[in-house]
Amino acid sequence: MTPQLQQAIRLLQLSASELHQEIQNCIETNVMLELVEDEFPNDIAGSDIHEESQFKQQAISERRTQNADWQESAYEGHSMDPEQIPETETLSLRGHLLWQLNLLPLSESDAIIGVAIIDAIDPNGRLGVSTEEIRLSLKRAGQGTPNDDEISSVLKIVQTLEPTGVAARTLSECLLIQLCELSSEVPFLEVAKACVRDFLEMIAGREYQKVCKILGVFPDDFQKVLELIRSLNPRPGSDYGTEKVDYVIPDVFVFYEKGQWIVELNEQVVPKLRVNKSYSNMLQGERGSAVGTTLRRHLQEARFLIKSLATRNDTLLAAATAIVERQKGFLAFGDQAMNPLVMHEIAEVISMHESTVSRVTSHKYMHTPRGIFELKYFFSSQLSSELGTVSSVAIRAVIKQLVATENKLKPLSDSKLSQALSSQGIQVARRTVAKYRELLSIAASSERRKSN
């Protein structure tokens, strides 16, 4: 194979972070390459991308598709019994805020906005994105288009949660929220509010005399104002623990809109490249020279890289679209509706070799209303049943449901699970049930049994 063909094949199988690094290296070594956009993320795992992905993951996973009959809480996995509040020192800031939000009588749309806001709060308690960014994220996630007033309204609600000062966009706003919570009888409260609202930079620069003159405050009184301000917490979230999160950057977004499933590439993963016109124009004046030879080689490599990236995007989108078309049942109803699927089927649909499908689905992730999944998750073996062919994923989902609803005093053995599946028209051998049970990390019946 030619070096160019080897590069094209390698690009297909790179993950989002690996592709990011590859593009960065190419830009640094090839003068002919430049980004169409003005900015490129310094780190594909950067906080801005994480925050937006978190918005989308939470908002999309809570969307109720029009053809699904499933119901999900806006706080699935976070709802807590008020009588079982975890100890503050072991509870993360995000978990603490979600617990409080869960107690408020919010509409479904406001709850989704609230979760998006909380997910954008950094460990110090500061909101690191604008209402516009939150609005665009929710719009992209298929949650409609809340206006800035709606987001601002929910933001004010989040800012009333503990710790006081959380979800502020600036230091000034953080301190002002804390001051507004104090009793009106606190001495020099209004002066302190004016200081943090309008003169924080001057105070940081120790221009105390100027501030005193503007506010008409005596120096001795101003020292008391400073003491009040210094008693506030500029990092209200710092007293809470942090959740260990392994971030996954989705390559593809899937959402339900106007009666159909829409598949879109995540444009943040692969930026648009173009040939640098300044250097390409230099070629005409450098014909036959060593510089001209180098520039011509760079131009050829740049064009091939741009073409390879476009091919990669087209192939990834085609494969993802074909998978979504085949797995609509799963997207709407969950694992039990997963269809059996092999790579050969997708290869035929997109008219490519199975090896190409294997490369383009490895280490690539799809963002769906049910969470983020590796593309290979949607491929599963099939078993014959009275209902036709059933995917192994669907069978595992049924086993999980049977175990969840079993009598804990008399848990179902693998043989009983096999019989229960048979009663539903799914013929599965006991040893196969045991294998699937172990894959689900479900203990044997003897270990699941509970005594009276």
Smallest Cα–Cα separation from 383: which of 326, 429, 420, 337?
429
DSSP letter for each residue of 17-68: HHHHHHHHHHHHH-TTEEESSS---S-TT-HHHHHHHHHHHHHHHT---TT-
Q: Which residues neighbour 268 within 8 Å (Cβ) at sequence distance 6 or greater? A: 41, 49, 52, 249
Task: Give the pTM.
Answer: 0.48
Yes or no: say if 306 and 275 are a contact pair by the CB < 8 Å rule.
yes
d(CA 78, CA 60): 16
Q: How many CB atoms lie within 10 A of CB 217?
A: 19
**CATH superfamily to which 382-448 belongs:** Homeodomain-like (1.10.10.60)
d(CA 178, CA 183): 11
Q: Is 127 helix (H, G, I), strand (E, B) or coil?
A: strand
Q: How many CB atoms lie within 10 A of CB 285?
A: 9
How does pLDDT run along the chain (452 residues), one tens digit per residue? 566 677 778 888 888 888 888 888 888 888 888 888 644 444 444 444 444 444 444 444 443 333 233 323 333 333 334 333 334 334 688 888 988 888 888 888 888 888 889 988 988 899 988 888 888 777 766 656 778 888 889 999 999 998 899 999 999 999 999 999 888 888 989 999 999 999 888 888 888 889 899 989 898 889 998 999 988 999 898 877 655 555 678 899 998 888 899 999 988 777 788 888 888 888 776 666 788 888 888 888 899 999 989 888 999 999 999 999 988 888 888 877 788 888 888 999 999 888 888 888 888 999 998 888 889 888 876 565 555 566 777 777 788 888 888 888 888 888 888 888 877 777 777 888 888 788 778 888 877 877 55
Helices 108-119 + 47-61 axis angle, to 10: 160
In this prediction, residue 388 carries a pLDDT of 54
d(CA 137, CA 372): 16
Q: How many CB atoms lie within 10 A of CB 278?
A: 10
Helix, strand, coil shares of the chain, percent, nearest 5, are: 55, 10, 35
Q: How far is CA 198 from the centre of its chain?
A: 36
- Which amino acid, one-letter code, is at 416? K
Smallest Cα–Cα separation from 58: which of 111, 21, 22, 104?
111
Q: Is 130 helix (H, G, I), strand (E, B) or coil?
A: coil
Q: Is 180 helix (H, G, I), strand (E, B) or coil?
A: helix
d(CA 259, CA 65): 9
Report the alpha-carbon angle 15-19-23, nearest 5. 180
**Domain boundary assignment for the chain:** 3-43+249-378, 47-158, 171-230, 382-448
Q: How many CB atoms lie within 10 A of CB 5?
A: 11
